[in-house]
Amino acid sequence: MKATVSRLQANWVYGGALAGVGLLALSPLLTAGWPLGQLLVWLVLPVYMLHQLEEHDGDRFRLFVNATIGRGREALSVRDVFVINVFGVWGVMVVTLWLMRAVAQGWGLIGIYLVLVNAVLHLVQALAMRRVNPGLWTALALFLPLGAWGLAELGPQETLALHAVSLAIVVVLHGAIMVTARRRLASA
């Protein structure tokens, strides 16, 4: 069982990419009749799964973080990357979609801010380091347009408070990655 979990943690991204393609293909069936804003939030999950392939294929992101932030030490483990992406992205998007469809459409802003914040972080890091980082291209080509369109569709209808809460949730999620890396480095 332990070996199976280890393989799953090391190879999650490939199943996710295939699931992303499948979800995109099923989107017209699963979202028929949805308002455009909600459809755009739905698309965050499969588009994120495709972004994760660019970002994590060959363990690129973890190796990049360990080389740059960790300076050769392990800032993120294989397990950390698995938990961050499967629970912190896929899990958050599942909850977001449920909230958006069952409670109030505005909760979809969590998904919209998830892609926008991630894209901005990829861009800022690339500019600051003057180099490409894993996931940069899909963040720019997919996340920015999807996030901007989603924000234009959902944003004007929602309260400032819901925008703030949604953005805060996403910032905390991204902050948790840095906290995880710093803790691991401090204990190393």
Query: What are the pLDDT digits (tens) for 118-140?
Result: 999 999 999 999 999 999 999 99
Predicted pLDDT of residue 27: 98
Which residues are CB-neighbours of 133 under 8 A, at least 6 positions away? Answer: 64, 122, 125, 126
pLDDT band at 1 (very low <50, low <70, confident <90, very high): confident
pLDDT band at 184 (very low <50, low <70, confident <90, very high): confident
Predicted pLDDT of residue 107: 98
Count of domains observed in the chain: 1
Residue 154 has pLDDT above 80, yes or no: yes
| Residue range of the domain that includes 181 | 2-187
* Residue percentage of the chain with pLDDT more than 90: 94
Predicted pLDDT of residue 88: 95
Q: What is the mean pLDDT of the chain?
A: 96
pLDDT band at 161 (very low <50, low <70, confident <90, very high): very high
Is the pTM higher than 0.85? The answer reads yes
Predicted pLDDT of residue 62: 96
CA–CA dist 165, 112 (Å, integer): 13
